[in-house]
């Protein structure tokens, strides 16, 4: 018949919009990793002795480890000696006191990304701790938060100004021995965000960080540490995007969350790192360790993520439900298109009594994308009355992509209730035809159907993020009908 | 513009829908084998026939379903080659298909789909798009016609709808989109008598001198309520008999067997 539909592939294939490289003079150190490099990083950052010792211990441990091979992802070997482990924009040497002092070139980058700091500051009421390459260059709303006793600053700053908090909590959720990439991060991390909410304080605004990889060959090793003290509440947003480039880039971040008694942390991510081109060339390798510790009774940690970028995503935001009656939640949308690979999921470790966890995972595969959900629900002997509900749905667009589900359930307490639901469906030609027969273009129809599929996760996102996420899915899926 | 003009000029001379010697295959299996049908504005045609005769295939091919391969013949709509248009273009030009099996779309609210559809079509017609308030006012008015409750607007498209609710929802869409050519594919199937009457009332309300309807149905039941101007019997991929509304009653009384036998005899005669 003479009415060819735009193929699914055409519709998914929109060029990455955030591809550009900025000319900012970078203060970089040579390629490669050694104890000397770690000493140099620590010295450049004027770190106290405990930090250097911790980094070195992590490095020595890392040397004994092997890169994990269990994930359902494939890539050429990474040469860890071919990476530059520290790069800071020059302007960092004289720390900007306000946005006016920030390198205008940096500000333009954010403008291009649609994240004008000034506008966000004024319009959105969002405090932005912007990480450009490895060092924070703009921190806003500090005074207002400071008056409430909230600390929200770059990690480097926290090391200088609140070393006691850093020393107490750093590595307490993700020890450097945890895994290969966490050990590497611990040894070389250059910066990140730090947040402390004092007892009983409800943080009045969404805290937000925009990450960006820039300087050539620079691995990104951020470290984020968020502590909600007893009865505190914080919602934290993380969004990333990266410029177009050819060589693969390693990104190995660590995020640690600590929720004390009755505290609540909501951590939302929209991840849109450069996914590589349509032939699978380039793109970010995203090996992230994210973990929250519900350390106090009745504490609650929620992870919500929308993962559309990166060539490889390896990421399992997890909750340790230690406190009695604590709650862990994981809501995820992961989309892979072209040659993208994602192996993502969560771990819910129930230790305390009457702990509860919820997992909602939505995987979307298009093109030749491979999408795996990997999740562990572990109920320890001590966890009387623990409950878990998991729901894993996969949506396939086209016939060359794949969806995989690896749920692991370990129950050591007979009073536990664990439920797991899973489904895999192909985006129906029926659904698509139905929408088109109503006058809706194929592209809009795909976007509508996929957004419907993800609705349960999007409703967990803060409003402005949800809108952004929906747009992102639309863009990432263009060309996917066939 | 010149082309536009001549299209219109031709449209005034030609029937709204002109299906000529249409042959269609699915998976290399012939389904339609030279079907011809002419439909003018204001007419209601019923296409009847036994299971597997190709009724639904005709409906879907006219709407632009891609699983079918047209191997011969032509379809003109308002003087244009209908088969050259993708499904969304056909819809925007006023071709509407009420589905036999309305499709479920989880997570997408009914009202969202309907608004997107109405606005896509309004945009095509050069009309301003409706905002949420205007749209709700419009849809509530149309829903009264079909005895539908508000809650169906905010549920996911067709998800968990009863058979009757799904079919009413199809007619609601027809009422909203105001097509010029409405194709109703087994709209009566799976309906109890109450639901059938409501759906029929909705369809009758939409009959107009500018609008044509092609109703595909297996049973005569619907035709008691929506009285057609023409009845065609489809067998083995061809229209083998056409008549007025009384043909439907005859079919109800005698079944399809006699027509098929008649058609076989005619073919045998023609072959000699």
**Confidence at A103, pLDDT banded by 50, 70, 90:** low
Q: How many residues does chain B have?
A: 272
- Name which of A7-21, A175-189, A256-270, B5-19 the model is least confident about: A7-21
Instruction: Chain B: give the shortest CA distance to residue A465, in Å.
Output: 19
CA distance A407 to chain B (A): 24
- pLDDT value of residue A26: 55
Predicted confidence (pLDDT) per residue in A105-141, tens digit:
545 545 555 554 544 343 333 444 444 444 443 445 6
pLDDT of residue A209: 58
In this complex, the residue of A1, A436, A453 whose CB is nearest that of residue B106 is: A453
Mean pLDDT, range B4-11, rounded to an integer:
47
Across A106-253, the runs of DSSP E, i.e. the strands, are: 127-132, 135-139, 151-154, 193-197, 207-212, 223-228, 233-241, 249-251
> What does the pLDDT read at residue A408?
93
Question: Chain A partners of B103 at a C-beta cutoff of 8 Å?
Answer: 428, 430-431, 433-434
Residues in chain A within 8 Å Cβ distance of B97: 437
Q: Which of A1, A448, A451 faces B69 most closely, judged by CB atoms? A: A1
* Closest to A87 (Cα-Cα) out of A273, A182, A216, A184: A216
Query: Is residue B41 predicted with pLDDT exceeding 80?
Result: yes
pLDDT band at A13 (very low <50, low <70, confident <90, very high): very low
Tokens of B43: 């007419």
**Percentage above 90 pLDDT, chain B:** 63
Structure-model confidence comparison of residues A93 and A265, the more confident one:
A265
pLDDT of the residue at A278: 75
- The alpha carbon of residue A440 is apart from the nearest alpha carbon of chain B, in Å, by 6
pLDDT higher than 80, residue A218 = no
Is residue A478 within 8 Å of A11, Cβ to Cβ?
Answer: yes
Question: Would the pLDDT of A4 be above 70?
Answer: no
Distance from C-alpha of A39 to C-alpha of A127, rounded to nearest angstrom:
32
Asked if A166 contacts A197 with a C-beta cutoff of 8 angstroms, the reply is: no
Q: Which residues on A lie below 8 Å from B156 (Cβ)?
A: 452
pLDDT of residue A289 exceeding 50, the answer is yes
Model pLDDT, residue B4? 45
Determine, for residues A448 and B116 on separate chains, whether the beta-carbon distance falls below 8 Å. yes
The HSE-up count of residue B67 (CA atoms within 13 Å, CB side) is 14
Q: What per-residue confidence (pLDDT) applies to A262?
A: 97
| pLDDT in the model for residue A243 | 46
Query: Which chain B residues contact residue A431 at CB under 8 A?
Result: 103-105
Best-predicted range by mean pLDDT (A188-197, A337-346, B176-185, B191-200): B176-185
Q: Would you state the pLDDT for residue A265?
A: 97
Q: Which residue in A5, A430, A448 is closest to B103 by CB distance?
A: A430
- Looking at the predicted structure, is the pLDDT value of residue A220 above 90? no
> Could you tell me which residues of chain B have a Cβ less than 8 Å from any Cβ in chain A?
61, 63-70, 83-88, 90-92, 96-97, 99, 102-108, 112-113, 116-117, 120-121, 124, 156, 173, 177
- Which residue of A3, A429, A455 is in closest CB contact with B64? A3
Lowest-confidence range among A3-17, A49-63, A207-221, B126-140? A3-17
Least confident of A245-249, A396-400, B189-193, B266-270: A245-249
User: Measured between beta carbons, which residues in chain A are less than 8 angstroms from residue B108?
Assistant: 448-449, 451-452
Share of chain B above pLDDT 70, in %: 95
Number of residues in chain A: 482
Q: What pLDDT is recorded for position A127?
A: 44
Q: What is the pLDDT of residue A86?
A: 74
CB–CB contact A436 B88 (8 Å): yes
Query: How many Cβ atoms from other residues are within 10 Å of residue B170's Cβ?
Result: 23
pLDDT category at B29 given cuts 50, 70, 90 is very high
**Comparing C-alpha atoms, which of B168, B229, B230 is closest to residue B203?**
B168
For strand B238-243 and strand B156-157, is the pairing parallel, antiparallel, or unpaired?
A: unpaired
- Cα nearest neighbour of B109 on chain A: A452
| Range of lowest pLDDT (B7-16, B24-33, B116-125) | B7-16
- pLDDT tier, A21 (very low <50, low <70, confident <90, very high otherwise): low
Look at residue A207 in the predicted model and tell me its pLDDT: 83
* Tokens of residue B219, six digits: 């049973």
State the pTM of this model.
0.77
Is the confidence at residue B11, as pLDDT, over 70? no
Query: CB–CB of B88 and A439 under 8 A?
Result: yes
| Closest by Cβ to A431, choosing from B69, B84, B103 | B103
| pLDDT score of B20 | 95
Q: How confident is the model over A189-194, as a mean pLDDT?
A: 86
Beta-carbon separation of A440 and B99 below 8 A: no
The tens digit of pLDDT for each residue in A222-258 reads 899 999 999 999 999 887 554 444 455 788 999 999 9
Determine the pLDDT at residue A91.
40
* pLDDT number for residue A345: 93
- Alpha helix (H) residue ranges in A45-91: 49-63
Q: What percent of chain A has pLDDT over 90?
A: 41
**What token pair was written down for A459?**
């409703």
Predicted confidence at residue A137, as pLDDT, reads 39
- CB distance A3–B66 less than 8 Å? yes
Flag the least confident range among A9-23, A252-266, A421-435. A9-23
Q: What is the 3-state secondary structure (H, E, C) of B94-110?
A: CEEEECCCCCCEEEEEH
Residues of chain A neighbouring B67 (CB-CB closer than 8 A)? 429
Collect all residues of chain A within an 8 Å Cβ-Cβ radius of residue B90. Answer: 437
Q: Examine the pLDDT at A65 and tell me if it is beyond 80.
A: yes
Taking one residue from A and the other from B, the number of pairs with CB-CB distance under 8 angstroms is: 101
Number of alpha carbons in the 13 Å side-chain half-sphere of residue B166: 22
B224, B196 Cβ separation under 8 angstroms: no
Confidence of residue B88 (pLDDT cuts 50, 70, 90): very high
Instruction: Report how far residue A47's alpha carbon sits from residue A42's, in angstroms, rounded to the nearest whole number.
Output: 5
Q: Residue A438: which of B69, B156, B173 has the nearest Cβ?
A: B173
Q: What angle do CA A138, A143, A148 make, to 5 degrees?
A: 130
pLDDT single digits (tens) A305-350: 988 888 888 999 999 999 999 999 999 998 888 888 888 999 999 9
- Residue A475 CB contacts under 8 Å (≥ 6 apart), including other chains: A14, A17
| Set of chain B residues whose Cβ sits within 8 Å of the Cβ of A439 | 88, 91-92, 117, 120-121, 124, 177
Mean pLDDT score of chain A: 80
pLDDT band at B3 (very low <50, low <70, confident <90, very high): very low
Match 């020595």 to its residue by tokens. A60
Residue B248 Cα distances to B36, B47, B219, B224, B242, angstroms:
19, 10, 9, 9, 10
pLDDT digits (tens, 9 = 90+) for B233-263: 998 899 999 999 888 888 888 888 887 787 7
Residue A93: what pLDDT?
42
Asked if the Cβ–Cβ distance from A449 to B108 is below 8 Å, we say yes
The pLDDT of residue B251: 83
Residues 6+ positions from A287 with CB-CB distance below 8 Å: A181, A250, A251, A252, A312, A314, A315
Q: What is the mean pLDDT of chain B?
A: 89
CB B105 within 8 A of CB B159: yes
B246-254 long-range contacts (CB < 8 A, ≥24 apart) are: B248/B46, B248/B48, B248/B220, B248/B223, B249/B220, B251/B48, B251/B220, B252/B219, B252/B220
């Amino acid at each position: 018949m003479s009415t060819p539909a735009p193929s699914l592939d055409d519709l998914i294939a929109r060029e990455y919009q955030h591809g550009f490289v900025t000319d900012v003079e970078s203060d970089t150190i040579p390629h490669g990793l050694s104890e000397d490099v770690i000493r140099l990083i620590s010295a450049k950052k004027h770190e106290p002795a405990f930090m250097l010792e911790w980094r070195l211990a992590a490095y020595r441990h890392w040397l004994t480890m092997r890169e994990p091979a269990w994930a359902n992802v494939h890539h050429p070997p990474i040469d860890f000696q071919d990476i530059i482990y520290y790069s800071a924009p020059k302007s960092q040497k004289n720390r900007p006191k306000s946005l006016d002092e920030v390198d205008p070139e940096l500000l333009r980058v954010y403008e291009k990304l649609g994240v004008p700091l000034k506008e966000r500051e004024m319009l959105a009421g969002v405090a932005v701790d912007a990480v450009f390459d490895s060092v924070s260059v703009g921190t806003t709303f500090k005074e207002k938060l400071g008056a409430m006793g909230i600390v929200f600053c770059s990690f480097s700053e926290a090391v200088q100004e609140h070393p006691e908090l850093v020393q107490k909590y750093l590595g307490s959720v993700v020890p450097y021995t945890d895994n290969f990439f966490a050990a590497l991060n611990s040894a070389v991390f250059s910066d990140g965000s730090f947040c402390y909410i004092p007892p009983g304080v409800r943080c009045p605004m969404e805290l937000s960080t925009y990450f960006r990889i820039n300087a050539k060959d620079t691995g990104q090793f951020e470290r984020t540490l968020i502590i909600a003290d007893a009865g505190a509440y914080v919602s934290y947003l993380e969004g990333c995007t990266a410029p177009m480039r050819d060589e693969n880039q390693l990104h190995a971040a660590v995020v640690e969350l600590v929720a004390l008694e009755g505290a609540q942390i909501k951590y939302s991510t929209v991840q849109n790192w450069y996914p590589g081109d349509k032939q699978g060339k380039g793109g970010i390798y995203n090996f992230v360790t994210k973990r929250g510790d519900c350390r106090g009774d009745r504490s609650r940690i929620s992870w919500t993520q929308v993962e559309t970028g990166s060539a490889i995503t390896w990421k399992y935001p997890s909750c340790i439900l230690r406190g009695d009656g604590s709650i862990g939640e994981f809501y995820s949308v992961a989309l892979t298109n072209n040659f993208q690979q994602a192996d993502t999921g969560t771990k819910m470790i129930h230790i305390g009594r009457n702990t509860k966890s919820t997992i909602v995972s939505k995987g979307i595969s298009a093109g030749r994308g491979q999408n795996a959900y990997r999740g562990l629900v572990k109920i320890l002997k001590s966890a009387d009355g623990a409950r878990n509900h998991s729901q894993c749905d996969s949506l396939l667009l086209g016939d060359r992509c794949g969806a995989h589900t690896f749920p692991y359930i370990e129950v050591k307490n007979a009073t536990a209730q664990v439920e797991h639901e899973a489904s895999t469906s192909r985006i129906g030609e029926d659904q698509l035809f139905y929408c088109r027969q109503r006058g809706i273009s194929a592209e809009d129809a795909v976007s509508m159907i996929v957004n419907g599929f993800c609705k349960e996760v999007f409703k967990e996102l803060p409003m402005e993020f949800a809108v952004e996420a929906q747009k992102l899915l639309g863009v990432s899926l263009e060309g996917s009908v066939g | 513009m010149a082309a536009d003009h001549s299209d219109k000029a031709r449209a005034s001379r030609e029937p709204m829908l002109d299906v000529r010697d249409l042959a269609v295959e699915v998976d290399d299996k012939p389904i339609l084998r030279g079907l011809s049908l002419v439909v003018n504005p204001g007419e209601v045609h019923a296409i009847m026939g036994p299971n597997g005769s190709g009724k639904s295939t005709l409906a879907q091919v006219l709407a632009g379903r891609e699983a079918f391969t047209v191997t011969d013949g032509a379809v003109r709509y308002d003087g244009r080659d209908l088969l050259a248009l993708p499904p969304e273009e056909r819809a925007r030009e006023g071709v509407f298909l009420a589905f036999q099996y309305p499709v479920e779309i989880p997570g997408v609210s009914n009202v969202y789909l309907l608004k997107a559809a109405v606005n896509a079509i309004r945009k095509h017609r050069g009309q301003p798009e409706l905002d949420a308030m205007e749209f709700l006012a419009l849809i509530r008015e149309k829903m009264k016609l079909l005895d539908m409750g508000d809650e169906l607007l905010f549920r996911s498209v067709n998800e968990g709808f009863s058979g009757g609710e799904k079919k009413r929802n199809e007619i609601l869409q027809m009422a909203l989109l105001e097509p010029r050519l409405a194709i109703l594919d087994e709209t009566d199937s799976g309906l109890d008598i109450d639901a059938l009457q409501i759906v029929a009332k909705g369809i009758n309300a939409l009959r107009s001198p500018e609008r044509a309807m092609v109703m595909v149905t297996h049973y005569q039941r619907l035709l008691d309520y929506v009285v057609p101007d023409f009845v065609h019997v489809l067998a083995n991929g061809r229209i083998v008999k056409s008549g007025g509304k009384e043909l439907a009653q005859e079919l109800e009384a005698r079944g399809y067997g006699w027509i098929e036998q008649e058609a076989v005899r005619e073919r045998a005669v023609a072959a000699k």
